[in-house]
Amino acid sequence: MKILVTGANGLLGQKLVALISAMPQHELIATAKSKLIPAMARGQFFPMDVTDARQVAAVMDAARPDVVIHTAAMTQVDQCETEREKCWMANVTAVEYLIEACEKNHVHLIHVSTDFIFDGSHGPLDETATPNPLSYYGASKWAAEQRVNQSRTDWAILRTVLVYGVTQDMSRSNIVLWVKKSLEEGKKINVVNDQWRTPTLAEDLAMGCYLAAVQRARGIYHVSGSEMMTPYDIALATADFFKLDKSLIQQTDSTQFTQPAKRPPRTGFIIDKATRDLGYRPHTFREGLAQLAVQLGNGAV
């Protein structure tokens, strides 16, 4: 099977490159806007800006993949709120370009989405929950889902929650790395305890995407960790695991922060469908931390 991955330099993209390029039964086509960062055991790389319609069409025509796993997106929630045109181009218009190319070449599309399409009034949520985004980022991702749903190509949408992990270049942090680095530097941190999520190890999400691709899954799947935690819970668990000073972690609530974009208070996912239909089995949060510790210890990702 030929699998094309967009956004190969992102956290999820890097994990997919590592996973799929190590499998001789598949041919990986990695794409990214700039030079490929992760090492690739085998496969091809094409520069591709998903917001450039001609580039998307040309790469898809040349590569002729069986499946596209679309991970490229603008995910900085506050930046999306203030740079709306850029956000829409990256998260909606780019999806329209990909859909057009997939329809033309009869390609199965795996689209990655987010819990931020929900308003956070309750959770954890299954695939039948009604989207009602609070932020422009969430609205753009919900609009993209609707474009995928209405397309004439085969598709699956994989929604996920609060992804964490180690990247090759460490250009972007995530909650676990931020907590670990801050505590190692002796910094006091304020962490909210009034938002609930099911944090997701990047390797688990990559495996979920891979399982959906090889099984030609159709429909919507919730793919995340299985444990409901607040960011404060995450910070305490991270401090415990890495034997760092928990007294530096100050519990607070979201009213103490002024951010351009609203966050849903309570999401988290019920992953029974992905477990049953795809064979998805996420690590526990502690197991995820152990995997990070190994990667950070020896430089491997």
- Express each pLDDT in 235-277 by its tens digit: 999 999 999 999 999 999 998 888 999 999 999 999 999 999 9
Instruction: Let me know if residue 143 belongs to a domain.
Output: yes
Instruction: Let me know if residue 156 belongs to a domain.
Output: yes
Instruction: Let me know if residue 180 belongs to a domain.
Output: no
Number of C-beta neighbours around residue 76 at 10 A: 14
**Calpha distance 114→228 (Å, rounded):** 16
Instruction: Let me know if residue 210 belongs to a domain.
Output: yes
Whether the pTM exceeds 0.85: the reply is yes
Residue 203 belongs to a domain with what CATH number? Answer: 3.40.50.720
Residues in the chain where the model's pLDDT stays below 70: 170-171, 298-301
Domains identified in the chain, total number: 1
From start to end of the chain, where are the E strands? 2-6, 27-32, 44-47, 67-70, 108-114, 155-160, 163-164, 189-192, 200-201, 219-222, 249-252
Tell me the residue range of the domain where 148 lies. 2-172+199-227+267-284
- In the block, which residue shows the tokens 């006091």? 188
Instruction: Let me know if residue 194 belongs to a domain.
Output: no
pLDDT, tens digit (0-9, with 9 covering 90-100), for 22-67: 999 999 999 999 999 988 989 999 999 999 999 999 999 999 999 9
Instruction: Let me know if residue 19 belongs to a domain.
Output: yes
Instruction: Let me know if residue 114 belongs to a domain.
Output: yes
Instruction: Let me know if residue 25 belongs to a domain.
Output: yes
